Structure 1
Amino acid sequence: MPLTVAHLHATLKSRLPQFSDRLFGQAGDTFVGGWEEYLFDTPHGWWTTSNHEFPDRGHSSQPARAMKACIEKATHSIDIVTMDEPTGDFRKNVEDGLIALAMSGRPVTVRFLLGRQAGGPNLHTWMMLKQLADRIRQAEPRASRLNVYLAQFRWESASWNHAKLIAIDGGVLITGGHNMWDSHYLARNPVFDISMRFDGGIARGGHRFADALWNFVRANNRRPLAGATYSNHLNPDLEIDESAPPPRSESFEAVAADASPAADASNRFPALWVASPGWGVYTDPRVLEGAMMIALVEGLKQAKQSCKMSLQDLGSPHMSAVDFKTWRPRDYPFDLIGCGGSWFILPLIDNFAEFLHRNASATLEIILSAPTDGAHGYGHGVKLQTILNLLSQRMNAQFQTSKNDALKILNERVFLKTIAFSDGREAWRDGAKKDNHAKFWILDDKICHVGSDNCYPYVQGIGQAALQEFGVIGEFPPSVTDMVMEGYYNHASRHGVRTDAKLADLTW
């Protein structure tokens, strides 16, 4: 079968027939413009800068500024879905966009949903809205028609939203890996990450994903009173109550179909929006499998030339020997395999091995966080030698590949790297290692994913979580592929530090 978005869409419809337009959907009119307005990487444009020249601030304001620029142009509907409370310049830019809407007098409804990680205190959504109301009041709008709903969302202690998206008027979508955390992205020792803007009908997927989360909020708003899911509402008169938004009208979908900018038809491309259900939200019927991983595994089956990835990690956080021996996965959507104290998604590792076995000249490149001592702790302690060892094990298990043959494949066609800069240093000036939080992959330089869904299982200590996720898979035309590769990925590849395989690392 050809490697196309249409084929991946057909695969998802076959695997998840009851979840078309609920966990995934296709749009044929997707558009991506120029680098500055559509490609948001952090730290932006600094790949060729040596460590000693890198500033503590002012290096990565582009994602936050892009959010404001899109928000302030809305005409009727905005969904903002992210994890935890926005801070610093992220929060200021989002609020500045909302204040501009209040000043415009346009009747816009904003649904702002915050996933709250287990273990932390509840977020002060009422206070966040009060602070926004104070800023709007100071701006003295003539006749605001802005409604803002703000909610914290979590199911029990095991599932919360991890997606990061802004969907506007069914025609503009920003999504990727960026949390709205100033200290992680805009300050000293920034996290490496990527998000993108997509225009066209693909944005309706962001609204539909948000619909499912808000359905959960409506059903569980303050139940019990001290629970982890609750909503507040700021009305045009700047009064705050405890309501959740009513179900969204589907009528705006037809209005929004022509919302994307005019462009040459050759610059448009088919795309999929893909979501992961987590636990507790998609219960009618219940589903566990995530659309992104299904599509990635199927894409690897069809790819012939290359798989290039920029990821936070491939394995779960490293466990102690006792925990690793006793822990067993529960209710997880994919089979897992353990190696070196961490857990991995078995169908992904197996299809890496099958991809390399089937295509004698194909290459696999993965750029990861430093395993330990990262500036913000994104690495999981998974040694790159462990990943190489596991990959060789699965080559042998599936295709009886010998150790020597596996070693040859690993050193000639597999490139595992950690983030560095032009001087080759993996650490910042203070010695902290560089963190990667991207969830980016591209197959055969054509089928590309940008989103929030990681390629490792969520195992924390001996506990486990399943999160709600969102992303876009596009069948990029050459112009978009060139922008993404030259503006982001090739820099990461060129400056990454590779780990080679040694025969002694293959312990099976």
Structure 2
Amino acid sequence: MFARILFLLVLAIVGSCSGDLPSSAVSDSQAERDFGILRPSTSIVALVKDRDLRPPDLSAPDPLQQLQRELAKSDPNGAFAGITYDLTRGNNLAVDWLVQTPNRWGRRADDLTWFEIGCKDCEADISLPACSTDADCRGGTCTAIWQRTPGLQTAARKVCLGHSDALPLRIHDLVASARQSVDIVELQPAPNGRFTAALRAAVAELAFSRRKVEVRVLIGQFPPKGVDATAFLNELVESARNIPGSRVTLSVSAMRACTVLESCNSFSWNHGKLIVVDGREAIVGGHNLWTEDYLTDNPVHDLSMQVRGPAATSASRFADRLWSYVCSNLDYKDSISLASFSAGQSEIGQRCPTALATRRAAAGTGGVETMGIGRLGAGITDDFANQSELARDLMFAAARKTIRVSQQDLGFRLGRSDTLFPENALDEMIDLMERGGDVYVVLSNPGSIGNGGSPYHNDVPLRAVAKRLKDKVQKRIDMADPRSRYTIRTGPDPVNALLCSRFHLAPFRFGPDDSWPGGKTISNHAKLWMVDDRIFYIGSDNMYPVNLQEFGYIVDDRKAANTLIESYWNPLWQWSSRAAVSGEGVQECIFREIIK
């Protein structure tokens, strides 16, 4: 409960204090035209108009290359090319590239197997029950995992996995495969429980392998408490510290770019979630490495992806930029800390790691075109480097059939007297609906809170989202014909007619139940958008406006898009649409309930 109160206090401070609004929150009527001047606070809507940015033509070849050219116009000196926007080819997606937890579509809420931390008969490091077969696991799966002591030729041990416990194993296997480098970028709090166990075991295996591997862990921290970088480093090296012949080096940083109380006119810290190995393979998306929220009861639903090829280097290059900021400000800012360890070292030091993206992986042999896309928020640079939102809005403007969105929220209100929305993105959605297209949006449920205390809802009810959209459409009608508001209407309300038929809005469901046993609401933490069932984004960047550092991937690949639709979107909409408040087949459309 204390963690929840602390988190809400932080968000209240972020929302209520003065400071620059996030780029995506400024509407056309609010935008100032400082043509030729690009700042972190430059609004997306002004940037698109002033720089004459054009959406890609999806009927023409290579829309991501078109997008790359338009994004470059927001970066006239090329300072952020390869950092916040980086188009690569030759990437490969394995059969299991889509990482969704829990992947239990259609199950009842009381039918998810999970295991308590500290359970009886558990393997102590991973806190999962030992087993011989699936029959020992009460609905879970019996799976072989890493050895207790790395390097010993002992029989593989087996443990029971609950609904999402395969994720720490996946992370362990990726990290343990490193030959040169590991990049881990996450949000406060530091990885814990089974995730820490997986990382600790992987680091020990790297130490035993005697490969020379640089491991960097960067954790975005928000006030007031932050992260103890030294304590987490000690957890990671606990099993590797005394392994003979080890050549592993580890660095852990806790960082915050700024707050209005420190060095900029905003609030900004890292919110990205990525794990990169050797610049050749990466897991990127929405997953925080928090055991209580993801691996036990009432789990948060989330989405990430795993890619092999040069796109992994894009992620590591983004991490390089964050580390450059850390190392440049280490002696000047109390909001940045660093702890380092090298094999044979008796005490924790404070050595800045080297850049890793220079160790470029060989060109990929796959056929998946991928754009690494990010934002630097505030405090890291005085220039505009928020290409993530810009790319999203340009792609929304390119849509001709559908926009599909799965998010925690579209609005941000916690601690504010008003509500912030991604104004330009909403306008692009309305443009599509006016062209005859459809918009599908699935959001987290009101009051969603993880077991660790973090909120997964921004105090913005579906009614508030609907009202903002309705006001926007009504404003367009009034501007087109100022006298229309005084005209006696004889037919259907055109605003309701458009939104009730074309805007499909629903709270998240994964099966027949509206909540978890005991009444806790179901949380959605995915950050997905998709255009015309073809081009999609998976990453850390929420659509609701906040000014943080973010990273994700935009993918243009029809096979991958089909996989995403079949294995994620279709079951998501099948179950969520049963609670839809607008769209085709909804009798009591929420837009009709809202009085202008």
TM over 0.5: yes
Query: Quick check: 1:210 aligned with 2:312?
Result: no
Letter in 2 for 1:51: A
Pick the aligned partner of 2:573 from 484, 487, 493. 493
Which whole-Å CA distance do the structure 2 matches of 1:199 and 1:242 have between them? 33
3-state SS in 2 of match to 1:365: strand
Aligned with 1:16 (options 72, 75, 78): 75
How far apart are the structure 1 equivalents of 2:306 and 2:395? 23
SS in structure 2 of the partner of residue 367 of structure 1: strand
Secondary structure of the 1:197 match is: strand
Say which SS state the counterpart of residue 73 (structure 2) adopts. Answer: helix
Separation (CA, whole Å) in 1 of partners of 2:246 and 2:538: 35
Give the aligned partner of residue 309 of structure 1: 405
Q: Tell me the distance in 2 between the aligned counterparts of 1:249 and 1:305.
A: 41
CA distance in structure 2 between the partners assigned to 1:503 and 1:72 by the alignment: 52
Q: Report the CA distance shift for 1:273/1:240 in structure 2 as closer, same or farther (over 3 A).
A: farther
Contact kept in structure 1, 2:91 and 2:368, CA below 8 Å: yes
Counterparts in 2 of 1:83-162, with a 5 A limit? 83-84=187-188, 85-119=190-224, 121-137=225-241, 141-157=243-259, 158-162=267-271
1:311–1:438 CA contact under 8 A, matched in 2: yes
Q: Tell me what 2:133 maps to.
A: none
Q: 2:350 aligns with which of 243, 260, 283?
A: 243
Aligned residue for 2:377?
278
Instruction: Measure how far apart 1:505 and its partner are.
Output: 3.3
Q: State the shift of 1:453 in Å.
A: 0.5
1:65 aligns with 2:169: yes
> In the alignment, is residue 296 of structure 1 matched against residue 392 of structure 2?
yes
Query: Does the 8 A contact of 1:233 with 1:240 survive in 2?
Result: no
Letter in 2 for 1:25: D
Contact 2:316–2:357, Cα closer than 8 Å, also in 1: no
Taking the aligned partners of 2:356 and 2:581, their CA distance within structure 1 comes to 52
CA contact (8 A) 2:405 2:440 kept: yes
Structure-2 separation of matches of 1:183 and 1:300: 35
Shift of 1:346: 1.1
- The aligned counterpart of 1:337 is none
Higher mean alpha-carbon deviation, 193-202 vs 231-240, is at: 231-240
- Please tell me whether the aligned partners of residues 389 and 505 of structure 1 are also in contact (alpha carbons under 8 angstroms): no
Write the distance in 2 (CA, Å) between the matches of 1:317 and 1:366: 19
Please give the alpha-carbon distance, in whole angstroms, between the structure 1 residues aligned to 2:528 and 2:351.
Answer: 33
Query: CA 1:431 to 1:350, structure 2 compared with 1: closer, same or farther past 3 Å?
Result: same
- Quick check: 2:253–2:338 contact (8 Å CA) kept in 1? yes
Which residue of structure 2 aligns with residue 187 of structure 1? 296
CA distance in 2: counterparts of 1:61 and 1:11, whole angstroms = 41
Q: Gaps spanning 5+ residues in structure 2: where?
A: 1-55, 116-161, 260-266, 485-491, 583-588
Please state how far the C-alpha of 1:240 moved relative to its aligned partner. Answer: 3.7
1:47-69, Cα deviation, whole Å (9 max, x unpaired) = 11112222333111232222111
**Pair 429,398 (structure 1): closer, same or farther in 2 beyond 3 Å:** same
Number of the residue aligned with 2:497: 408
Residue of structure 2 in register with 1:483 after alignment = 563
> What is the TM-score of this pair, normalised by structure 2?
0.74
Report the equivalent of 2:340.
233
With structure 1 as the length reference, what TM-score do the two structures score? 0.86
Cα displacement (A) at 1:243: 2.1
Cα distance in 1, alignment partners of residues 380 and 419 from structure 2: 28
Distance 1:270 1:481 in 2: 12
CA positional deviation for 1:144: 0.6
Contact 1:233-1:244 within 8 A present in 2 as well: yes
> Greater CA radius of gyration, 1 or 2?
2
Residue type of the partner of 2:289?
Answer: M
- 1:174-213 per-residue CA deviation (whole Å, 9 max, x = no partner) reads 1000111111111110001100001111111111111111
Seen in structure 2, the aligned counterparts of structure 1 residues 315 and 71 have a Cα distance that, compared at 3 Å, is: same
Aligned position for 1:419 = 508
Contact 2:249 2:342 in 1 (8 A): yes
Which amino acid is the alignment partner of residue 470 of structure 1? F
Preserved CA contact (<8 Å) 1:212 1:282: no
The DSSP-based 3-state class of the residue aligned with 2:545 is: coil
Identity value in percent: 26
Q: Secondary structure of 2:515's partner?
A: coil
Q: Secondary structure of the residue that 2:67 maps to in structure 1?
A: helix
Question: Mapping of 1:311-460 within 5 angstroms?
Answer: 311-318=407-414, 324=417, 341-358=418-435, 360=436, 362-375=437-450, 376-400=454-478, 404-423=493-512, 425-458=513-546
RMSD between aligned residues: 2.0
Q: Which runs of 4+ in 1 moved over 6 A?
A: none
Indicate if the aligned counterparts of 1:211 and 1:248 stay in contact, CA closer than 8 A: yes
User: Any idea what the Cα deviations from partners look like across 1:203-241, whole Å, max 9, x if unmatched?
Assistant: 1111111111111111222535xx120111110114344
**Which of 33, 57, 60 is residue 2 of structure 1 equivalent to?**
57
